Amino acid sequence: MKIAVVYNRESQNVINLFGVPNREKYGKRNIKRITDALKKGGHQVIALEGDKDLIDRLEEFMPRVLQGERPGMVFNLSYGIQGQARYTHVPGMLEMVGIPYVGSGPLAHSLALDKVVAKMIFRQRGLPTPDFVVLEEPGFDPPDMAYPLIVKPKNEAVSFGIKIVNDIDELREASQVIFDKFDQPVLAEQYIAGREINVGILGNSPPEALPPAELTFGGDGPAIYTYEDKMKKSGREVGIVCPAPLDPETTERAGKVAVGAFRALGCYDCARVDMRMDADNNLYILEINSLPSLGQHGSFPNAANAVGLDFDKLVNRLVEVAAARYFGTPEPAPVDAKARDPKALIFGYLTQRRDRIERRVKEWTNRSSRTGDPVGVGGATAEMESVLTELGLVREVNDSDGRTVQTWHTAAGGDGGTLLICHVDVPLQPDVAVQAFRRDPELLFGEGVASSRAPLVMLEYALRALKHARLLRRRKISVLFYSDEGRDCRFSADVIRRAAARADQVLVLRPGSSGDKVVIARRGQRKFRLTIESKPRRQGQVSKRPEVMLWLSEKLLAFSELNSRKDRVAVSAIDVKPRAFPMLLPHAATVTLLLTYPKRDVADAVESRLRELLGKTAGLTWSLEAESDRPPMADRRANAALVKRVRDVAESLEIPLETESSLWPSSAGLVPEETPVVCGIGPVGRDLHTPQEATPRISLMRRTMFLAQFLREA
């Protein structure tokens, strides 16, 4: 890949010189170390000053790519030349012209540089940071804080102007220096006596905390890292111990706090969180450096080295995590349009269509088809029919009911092949607010985006890639889609069982789990409607009949005692609707009970026990009816070969993939015991069925690539 290392060192190539100048610079030796590391990683590298001619130079070095080529990238080391929020200048230019780059975006840099705003956000997120005040101008009133305090400019980095003060006179003197030299407000915060701990963050999905590093201070002077220390002008040695000598609990806590700060400000790829730790091991965030130094003796490279990433590996790892964030796959490569290798053709087809795939997710997400919306579901069904017809698939009449479920197959037929199962309805109630599609650098958000929409697009483009490689007609592939997921497959269950029995293997395109997991076992779920009725009564009226709500509370408490982690059984009330006449106590109630279970005989036993606990009560009647029953998906012997193939294909593509069991049911439980099945094949889902439902952009590409290559080999 073409990579431009962009920095600010000597250039003053701007239209005018004014405003606060940049005092941070990378040495020539460090810039060369970084460019050499990238060259060792196989990249074509150039080093450029981040000034007003940067865009012209970048366009010359990495012109607009042809179809199939991978765009170049900027390795951003730029601290800016002058003015406010200097870290944002080069990233803002790159955002404008559409060039990918390593590191955080303009917003995160702005927040990190404004220490006061950053501390307010940390407080809002419940992250620990020292108490503070902002001194706007000379003549300020003495702050109501205990000394010593530490003062620093509000919007600077690299420890500029930092000083410990012990009384109001020292505070006024140190603040005046900052007012005069930096022309900005002063941040005065409580000084935390103790140890200086830095935690580096690397990556995005999820961000990972590197081992904490501790700064040690030799010689005279305060135990804080000053600008003079960094410039080797203080006359004392500041050492770095990494990993820091901390107990495991404190190490883990420091990592969680650092990741929390990284996410709170919306950073990407890398950062360094500076903390102080007091005598009681309490951690306090001082600031976050959104552009951590890669200098030879910096704490960030030292921490990376502690986990096996030497300097060369660290630099190239930063390119990899940024590439994954932008392009969706770690190593997309140019593909010759004339290549005959089907694997390469599929790879090239999909990697060249990332934007189209995401636009298709947007189209589907903005198409409403909640389970209870027959018009919307009908439109979604028609859309799927149109897609499958265009791809050359044929409807299987025997495994379609014309209303809630349809099965289609390729020209080669579906019997004895691979059956793909998905649903077109979004299982949300009408009173849930509509969430339109939106996108950020890592995630796609929107109604049903992970539970339904991304899997549908993944299916469509995997089949399109096979068609592009001229393989689709020759593969035995069936597609079954249904529209009653929100009704627990009440109407589609028989057709799903029948179609699955005719297949050689089944993949269910439900969303994958966090950690890039697919599901090989699921518990079953029964839903009951409990109806209770008695005669109306006034509040305070003496009666031998129990109050309906008090009686119900006692029974729900008794039901909860049936919960057993050992037996993998859980009983919960998920909806309670009392009924009452005006001015009277509730005389009736309807309760929805949810039972999750591992085996059908266990569910039968628990249901019997529920009826026993309800018992008989004079003056009160009840009924317990099963509304739905979603069978468990057993971890069956027949699955071993299929799971191995799934793993092998993922591994061949360098796609992370693990297996797990799940508490929640799916249509995979309807697949006969003798048929191999894997669920959770769809893109990873987050916050399902909530306003924050999302799927990672990288997961959409990975899972689409996986499915296409799996079907290629099927």
Predicted confidence (pLDDT) per residue in 603-619, tens digit: 999 999 999 999 998 88
Predicted confidence (pLDDT) per residue in 584-607, tens digit: 999 999 999 999 999 999 999 999
Asked if 550 contacts 503 with a C-beta cutoff of 8 angstroms, the reply is no
How far is it, in rounded angstroms, from Cα 312 to Cα 321? 15
Please say if the pLDDT value at position 558 is more than 80: yes
- Mean pLDDT for 135-145 is 90
Please say if the pLDDT value at position 369 is more than 90: yes
pTM score > 0.85 for this model? no
Please say if the pLDDT value at position 338 is more than 60: no
Predicted confidence (pLDDT) per residue in 84-134, tens digit: 888 999 999 999 988 999 999 999 999 999 999 999 999 999 999 999 999
Give residue 159's pLDDT band: very low, low, confident or very high (50, 70, 90): low
Please say if the pLDDT value at position 19 is more than 90: no
- Mean pLDDT for 548-575 is 93
Domains located in the chain, CATH noted? 2-102 (3.40.50), 342-522+634-713 (3.40.630.10), 526-630 (3.30.70.360)
Q: How many CB atoms lie within 10 A of CB 316?
A: 17
The pLDDT mean for the chain works out to 89
Q: Answer whether the bond into residue 148 is a cis peptide, omega within 30°.
A: yes
E strand segments, 424-475? 438-439, 443-445
Pairing of strands 149-153, 524-534: unpaired
- Mean pLDDT for 631-654 is 89
What percent of the chain stands above pLDDT 90? 66
pLDDT in the model for residue 545: 82
Measured between alpha carbons, how far is residue 477 from residues 23, 177, 458 in Å? 63, 74, 15
Encode burial over 342-364: b for 16+ CB neighbours within 10 A, e otherwise.
bbebbbbbbbbbbeebbebbbeb
Give residue 180's pLDDT band: very low, low, confident or very high (50, 70, 90): confident
pLDDT in the model for residue 8: 85
By C-alpha distance, which of 231, 252, 275, 247 is closest to 24? 231
Please compute, for residue 604, the number of CA atoms within 13 A of its CA located in the half-sphere on the CB side. Answer: 3
237 vs 558, residue with greater confidence: 558
Predicted confidence (pLDDT) per residue in 186-206, tens digit: 999 999 999 999 999 999 988
Please give the single-letter amino acid code of residue 407. T
154 vs 263, residue with greater confidence: 263
Please say if the pLDDT value at position 475 is more than 80: yes
How far is it, in rounded angstroms, from Cα 703 to Cα 333? 17
By C-alpha distance, which of 267, 258, 265 is closest to 120? 265
Q: What DSSP assignment string belongs to 658-707?
A: EEEEESS--GGGGS-TTS-EEB--EEE-BSTTSTT-EEEHHHHHHHHHHH
Predicted confidence (pLDDT) per residue in 339-368, tens digit: 468 888 898 788 778 778 989 999 999 999
Predicted confidence (pLDDT) per residue in 275-311, tens digit: 999 999 999 999 999 999 998 778 999 999 999 999 9
400 vs 604, residue with greater confidence: 604
- Mean pLDDT for 621-650 is 91
Alpha helix locations (H) across 478-534? 493-501
Picking from 239-253, 259-273, 321-335, 669-683, which range would have the lowest pLDDT averaged per residue? Answer: 321-335
Please say if the pLDDT value at position 483 is more than 60: yes
pLDDT in the model for residue 68: 42
- Mean pLDDT for 543-557 is 90
pLDDT in the model for residue 334: 35
Asked if 116 contacts 134 with a C-beta cutoff of 8 angstroms, the reply is yes
Give residue 63's pLDDT band: very low, low, confident or very high (50, 70, 90): low
Asked if 201 contacts 104 with a C-beta cutoff of 8 angstroms, the reply is no
Record the tokens describing residue 353, joined without a space. Answer: 């269509």
Q: Give the dihedral sign, CA 161/220/200/251.
A: negative
Query: In a 10 Å sphere around its CB, with 0-12 CB exposed, 13-18 middle and 19+ buried, how is residue 96 labelled?
Result: exposed
211: left (phi over 0), alpha (psi -120 to 50) or beta: beta
